[in-house]
Amino acid sequence: MVSDNELIAAIKLNHAWAINQLYVKYNDKIRRYIMGRGANTDQSIECYQEAIMSVLKLIKTGVLDQNEGVVEPFLKRVAWYQWHKTIRTAKRQGDHEREVIESIDTDFEPDALEHMVNSERGSERLSQLRKAYKTLSERCKAVLELGFFAEPTYSATEIADILELANANVARVTKTNCIKSLRKAYFKG
């Protein structure tokens, strides 16, 4: 396995293999850590991906230098922070928002959308969701279409191949960021 110092040096040189290696190296350990604090699998993935993005940014800007053993504790701390941020956000939102987030955040289920449409405020919610969807970039629309609405839905690996992304991890991160953008646009509108 490659050392943290080697990974940091390769990431600074924009080597894609190093980003992938960093993601894989700590994936299980950090996700188990977050799940041990009450997160489910999807939440742990999201927290971990946010932590990876933060670490990559800090490496590329030179803030996180080549000090062996610094990456794992930093990833753990950022993932923990993201998990607590998720909890705080969920506590502040009402039942309506949680219902919409869950319907957007899980694999697409026609029953969930049908429930949204047929509920008292369903047509308003659907209109707001459509409006939010229109604000997304074409790339996000494509990722969400393939990942949630296509019949059958595509895996991250298949999405990466279809959209010519570097790998499945990039597809997952893109999908997560697109869901966040959709949420943000939905609650803003």
At residue 91, the pLDDT reads: 67
Q: Which of the two residues, 177 and 64, has the higher pLDDT score? A: 177
Model pLDDT, residue 37: 84
Q: What is the pLDDT of residue 125?
A: 73
Give pTM, 2 decimals: 0.48
The residue ranking higher by pLDDT, 88 or 55, is 55
Domains of the chain with CATH codes? 4-91 (1.10.1740.10), 94-188 (1.10.10)
3-state helix, strand, coil in the chain (%, to 5): 75, 0, 25
**SS3 letters for 132-148?**
HHHCCCHHHHHHHHHHH
Tokens of 104: 């957007």
Instruction: Identify which has the larger pLDDT, 177 or 99.
Output: 177
pLDDT digits (tens, 9 = 90+) for 22-32: 899 999 999 99
Q: What is the pLDDT of residue 29?
A: 92
User: CA 24 to CA 27: how far, in whole Å?
Assistant: 5
Q: What is the pLDDT of residues 100-114, one digit of tens each?
A: 445 444 444 444 444
| Number of other residues whose CB lies within 10 A of the CB of residue 151 | 5
pLDDT of residue 76: 86
Residue 17, pLDDT score: 92
Cα–Cα distance, 91 to 125 (Å, whole number): 21
What is the spatial distance between Cα 108 and Cα 137, in angstroms, rounded to a whole number? 20
Q: What Rg value do the Cα atoms of the chain yield, rounded?
A: 18
- pLDDT tens-digit profile of 70-97? 788 888 888 888 888 887 776 665 544 4
- In this predicted model, what pLDDT tens digit does every residue of 134-160 receive, in sequence order? 899 988 888 888 887 776 778 888 888
Nearest partner of 44 among 12, 76, 21, 19, judged by Cα: 76
pLDDT band at 68 (very low <50, low <70, confident <90, very high): low
